[in-house]
Homo-oligomer: A and B are copies of this chain.
Amino acid sequence: MIKKEAIDSIIEDYKPKDIKIATLCSHCALQVFHGARSEGIKTIGICTPERKKIYDAFALAKPDEYILIDDPKNLLSSGIDDELIGKNAILVPHGSLVEYGGEEIENFKAPILGNRKSLVWERDRIKMFEWMREARIQTPRLLRPEEIDRPCIVKFSGAKGGRGYIAVNSPEEFERKVNKKEGVIIQEYLAGVRFYPHFFYTPLSREGYRAGEGSVELIGIDRRYESNVDEIYRPLSTGMDIKPSFTVVGNEPVVVRESLLNEIFEIGKNVIEAAERLFGGIPGPFCVETVCDENLQFYAFEISSRIVAGTNLYPEGSHYTVYNYPEWMSMGRRIAREIRIAIAKEKLHKIVY
């Protein structure tokens, strides 16, 4: 992995007044560009030619300039880092970028918002559970194949938006259904309902809910909408031999019972402080994927250590940001605001790697 000092020295050479925000045109890029624009920061869209017209269709969310690429799979291996450095740009990572970028993100030479080490911890599901345990968060049990004695979900490495998850109830079913057995985790299925809180951790301020050396904000909460499982109840389905699938196709807004905000903030804080102990922290946006059971207990089953697509529900602020900001505040805008603050305080090195 490229050294933190190397990134720090690059960012030190950036012209403060000319810093730009770049991301891959997918996932939550409209929101990131729109938020940056409202904070007066110029944007760069890394984009395939056929997607360009989608972004051009949104007058207030299209990037100020494009870097056209042939295939997002070459995203991080095609000299784009040099190009971004030449443009004074900070790359904002999101789910598609992490997925397409793969391991090459580790040696990407341009500054990335947040701590790129966290993307390694996110991608490796074993490490992710280690992180959640370090944070003392309740999690579903992980089982070995021969231990499967209850409904479980088999998950593969990487953020593929839920595609390819497999449901199994027994060791035999695991053997039959799961072809590629390396790197998978087998996770106990927990009954309850899902909440995906979107956090922003700033090491630059002690206002708000204190966590680590800074504080954590709750930017919003969503519920993912997965095909086909989230409409599998529609009764005609029962007559069909449908294999449940968990492809995330959208998001729905939700608010949580106010007395549970305690637990939500504590989860955010603990994930931050565990990250500081394990690999140096996670400045910027992240999400902890949880299930809340009928006893009001939260179980985390995943951490996304970067902006999640559920934030697309709140391009003008959420049920929670309204209590903190007099103007609208999306996660995209919050990122741009943080960069602005860091520039002003000469602390960009605290929020990028």
Contacts and interface: CB of A to CB of B under 8 A. Distances in A.
A30 B258 contact: yes
Q: How many copies does the complex hold?
A: 3
Interface in A278-315: 292-296, 309, 312-313, 315
Contacts of A181: none
A262 interface: yes
Most chain B C-beta atoms within 10 Å of own C-beta, residue among A60, A207, A240, A259:
A259
Contacts of A78: none
B255 A151 contact: no
B191 A57 contact: no
A314 to B, nearest CB: 8
Contacts of A227: 192-193, 292-294, 296
Given A96-B259, A249-B292, A240 B58 contact: no
Contacts of A70: none
A14 interface: no
A69 to B, nearest CB: 15
Contact of A244 (B59, B228, B236): B236
A229 B240 contact: no
A228 B30 contact: no
Contacts of A295: 247
B191 A240 contact: yes
B193 A225 contact: yes
Interface string A242-255: 10111111111111
Interface residues of A, number: 94
Nearest to A322: B315
Nearest to A248: B257
A209 interface: yes
A6 interface: no
Contacts of A231: 191-194
A200 interface: no
A242 B190 CA distance: 10
Nearest to A224: B257
In the A-B complex, list the 10 residue pairs whose CB atoms are closest, starting with the nearest: A245-B294, A233-B233, A61-B323, A58-B323, A57-B209, A151-B236, A235-B244, A189-B236, A191-B228, A193-B227
17 contacts: A26-B259, A27-B259, A57-B209, A57-B265, A150-B240, A163-B294, A189-B236, A189-B237, A191-B228, A191-B242, A223-B252, A225-B254, A227-B294, A228-B293, A249-B256, A252-B252, A315-B323
